[in-house]
Amino acid sequence: LALLAAHCGLGERADSITAERLFSASPWRELVVTRGPDGVWIFSRSHPPLALPAPPAEVVDPVGAGDAFLAAYLVTRLRHAQ
């Protein structure tokens, strides 16, 4: 998030305000920001911003956790879009 925000001239912070400003200035319909053990932020044109906590879990290896979450999120969104 910080790298993308900096590239767009929005500073280098990785907080919810920066994410919301980035989303507001974009043509995207949704922006999903995974935040590791802090959960996820979801910004959408069709509903208010969401900040969802991560469920409690015993972490064995965090590599790929965000990718796995986004894959499940996309599958769910695509199934409900039809």
The whole-model pTM stands at: 0.82
What pLDDT score does 1 carry? 85
What pLDDT score does 79 carry? 93
What pLDDT score does 82 carry? 63
Residue type, 38: D
Q: What is the pLDDT along the chain (82 residues), one digit of tens a residue?
A: 888 888 888 888 888 989 999 999 999 999 999 998 899 999 999 999 999 999 998 989 989 998 999 999 999 999 987 6
What pLDDT score does 20 carry? 92
